[in-house]
């Protein structure tokens, strides 16, 4: 059975809709007003082998914050919904991705307990038309709605483009590993507790 989901979120600030098929082939339709952000989400879908649609618009006359954060919220939520009870999954995934002179390290634990560890450094405020300062807000929102521990590290890199792209490719491959099912798990939930919390508040 295919694991898939769709989520829509509309507020006075943004309109965001997303759908995902976890057992996909990396097909994507990504449309937001921020071209470089589109490129990053496309790389994420391609390397995760997720069939992903993300359509979003927002109040860019204010700035990019509402749109980028809400895209993180909706993407985290749609993946969480597609994962369901999370039975039989690997649960954890990680990837070290080199891209020319850059290196990104990303790890994900679909634990039900949201937490973000984020350490990156960019030379410029913008990469293309994307405000680099908002990436932490994107990953924070993604981690909370996914109910996952997400680690993003960027130990090396010269080009901001390469560094950011390495991060999103590593995220895709980490999520691909974490979301994949292990036949040995069967219908077990991968936790000694016997469940992965659906609602967890710090």
**CA–CA separation, 199 vs 85, rounded Å?**
12
Is 188 contained in some domain?
no
Does residue 196 fall inside a structural domain?
no
What would the pLDDT profile of 144-190 be if each residue is shown by its tens digit? Answer: 999 999 999 999 999 999 999 999 999 999 999 999 998 776 676 65
CATH number at residue 102: 3.30.230.40
According to the model, what pLDDT value does residue 1 have? 78
157 is a domain residue: yes
Tokens of 122: 């960019």
Residue 190 lies in a domain: no
Q: Is residue 110 part of a domain?
A: yes
pTM given for the model: 0.92
DSSP conformation class of 87: T
Both structure tokens of 150: 């997400």
Q: Domain for residue 201, yes or no?
A: no
- Which residue range is the domain that position 64 belongs to? 4-179
In a domain, 52, yes or no: yes
Provide the 10 A C-beta neighbour count for residue 53: 17
Q: What is the pLDDT of residue 71?
A: 98
Distance CA 47, CA 62 (A): 32
pLDDT tens digits for range 6-36: 999 999 999 999 999 999 999 999 999 999 9
pLDDT digits (tens, 9 = 90+) for 47-90: 999 999 999 999 999 999 999 999 999 999 999 999 998 888 99
Higher pLDDT among residues 139 and 188, named by residue: 139
Q: Tell me if 90 sits within 8 A of 178, measured CB to CB.
A: yes
Contact 16, 66 (CB under 8 A): no
Both tokens of 48, joined, read 């995760």
pLDDT for 192 equals 47
- Report the domain count for the chain: 1
Instruction: Report if residue 191 sits inside a domain.
Output: no
* Residue-averaged pLDDT of the chain: 92
């Amino acid at each position: 059975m295919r694991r898939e989901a769709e989520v829509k979120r509309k507020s006075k600030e943004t309109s965001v809709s997303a759908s995902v098929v976890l057992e996909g082939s990396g097909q994507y339709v990504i449309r937001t007003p921020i071209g470089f952000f589109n490129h990053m989400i496309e790389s994420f879908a391609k390397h995760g082998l997720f069939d992903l649609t993300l359509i979003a618009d927002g109040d860019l006359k204010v700035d990019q914050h509402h749109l980028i954060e809400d895209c993180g919220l909706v993407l985290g939520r749609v993946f969480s919904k597609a994962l369901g009870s999370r039975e039989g999954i690997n649960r954890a995934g990680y990837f070290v991705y080199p891209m020319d002179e850059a290196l990104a390290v990303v790890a994900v634990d679909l634990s039900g307990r949201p937490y973000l560890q984020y350490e990156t450094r960019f030379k410029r405020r913008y990469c293309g038309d994307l405000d680099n300062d908002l990436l932490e807000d994107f990953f924070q929102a993604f981690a909370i709605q996914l109910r996952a521990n997400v680690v993003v590290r960027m130990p090396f890199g010269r080009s901001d483009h390469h560094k950011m792209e390495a991060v999103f490719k590593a995220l895709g491959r980490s999520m691909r590993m974490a979301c994949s099912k292990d036949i040995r798990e069967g219908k077990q939930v991968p936790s000694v507790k016997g469940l992965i919390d659906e609602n967890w508040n710090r």
